């Protein structure tokens, strides 16, 4: 006979779509590429949409990692949060903390990452791109 505790299942991570899986792979790459404390640079591209103005996009390889559109919220912070939340496993407090900053403004995402031991800095901006570096505050050397 099994007990209630034994039958209670842990919350499973949701099945990821292609773009979310690429976003997760990109975040895993960030962790590998910054292990020694070297900042890793990445770019958010702004693609024109007839309906929603300009929408942010990041890429892993040549494939897009997210789909952000609409209006009435900060699309850049949503794009950053959609990718950078995967620095931590799904369902963890850290993952949710980053994810909750999407749409609220870039500074909120930067602050959440700072509190979790990461430094996110904007290094360049143009009408079509925003470039950033990401680095751990305390690298594992």
Average pLDDT on 93-102 reads: 95
Query: What pLDDT sits at residue 11?
Result: 55
What's the pLDDT tens digit per position in 30-40? 999 898 888 99
- Rounded Cα gap, residues 44 and 128, in angstroms: 8
In the chain, domain spans = 22-136
C-alpha separations of 109 from 13, 71, 85, 101 in Å? 22, 19, 10, 5
User: Does the pLDDT at position 2 exceed 90?
Assistant: no
Examine the pLDDT at 141 and tell me if it is beyond 50.
no
| pLDDT-above-70 percentage for the chain | 89
Q: What are the strands of the beta sheet with 40-49, ordered from one edge?
A: 53-57, 40-49, 129-136, 118-125
Whether residue 60 is predicted with pLDDT greater than 70 in this model: the reply is yes
């Amino acid at each position: 006979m099994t007990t209630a505790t034994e039958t209670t299942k842990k919350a499973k991570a949701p099945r990821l779509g292609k773009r979310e899986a690429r976003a997760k792979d990109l975040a895993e790459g960030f962790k590998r590429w910054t292990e020694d404390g070297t900042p890793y640079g990445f770019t958010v591209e702004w693609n024109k949409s007839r309906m929603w103005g300009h929408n942010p996009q990041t890429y892993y390889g040549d494939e897009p990692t997210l789909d952000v559109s609409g209006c009435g919220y900060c699309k850049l912070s949503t794009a950053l949060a959609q990718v950078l939340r995967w620095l931590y496993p799904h369902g963890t407090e850290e993952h949710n903390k980053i994810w909750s900053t999407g749409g609220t403004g870039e500074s909120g995402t930067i602050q959440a990452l700072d509190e979790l031991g990461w430094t996110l800095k904007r290094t360049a901006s143009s009408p079509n791109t925003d470039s950033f570096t990401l680095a751990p505050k305390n690298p594992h050397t």
